[in-house]
Amino acid sequence: MILRPYQKETVDLILGNIENGIKTQLINAPTGAGKTVIASEVVKQLVDAGKKVFFVVANEPLIMQTYNKFIGIGLFPSIIKAGFEKYYNEDKKVQIVMIQSYSARVDKLPELNPDVIIVDEVDFGFNGQMFKKLVKKHENAQIVGLTGTPITFKGYLLPGFEFYHEVITVRELQELGFLSKDKNFIPATPDMANVRVMTTGEFNEKELDET
């Protein structure tokens, strides 16, 4: 897999943080930056180093999207999700985890003991009870949160992370040619001077159409 320079830098940064014992890190990358590409390479290198990895998603379409991406780079993951039992294998180094299914089955699953837990779109409920249950169950695992929205609805940086990194900005992606540049269209203001207001309080539709 050929990485863009900023993607390689981010992969090296994440792996370096893991090597240096950083417990929780938040990685922010906008749409178009290639979070899945970055995550895939991180997972591949962790597995090559003998690590066990959970890759956590919060919605069903991401399950097979992630699975196919991992298969494409030579990883053969297991899936923890209701209805996907044929994909489950507790001996696999990589578990793609649907957080809702894991939360419901946590007491029935064997001790999988991941070394690293990567949470995709971590802004969706990282402080919710299901994620807290996951983190508590595997308290020795290091956490990598991926997001394009690193702030809460109150405008604060997502809590619970000791390291934060912004991969690249939208403007930088545009300048590098990886995203199309914005086009702004400003509507003209119609002249309403000759449009009557009816007794209902609405504009006269015929005169409005002629404006």
pLDDT of the residue at 129: 83
Q: For residue 208, what pLDDT is reported? A: 75
Q: What pLDDT, on the 0 to 100 scale, is given for residue 91?
A: 94
Average pLDDT, the chain: 90
Task: List, edge to edge, every strand of the sheet that includes 163-166.
Answer: 78-80, 94-98, 53-57, 116-119, 142-147, 24-28, 163-166
Least confident interval from 61-70, 81-90, 140-149, 192-201? 192-201
Angle, to 10 degrees, between the axis of helix 61-72 and the axis of helix 35-48? Answer: 60
- Determine the average pLDDT of the residues in 51-61: 92
**Other beta carbons less than 10 A from residue 60's beta carbon:** 15
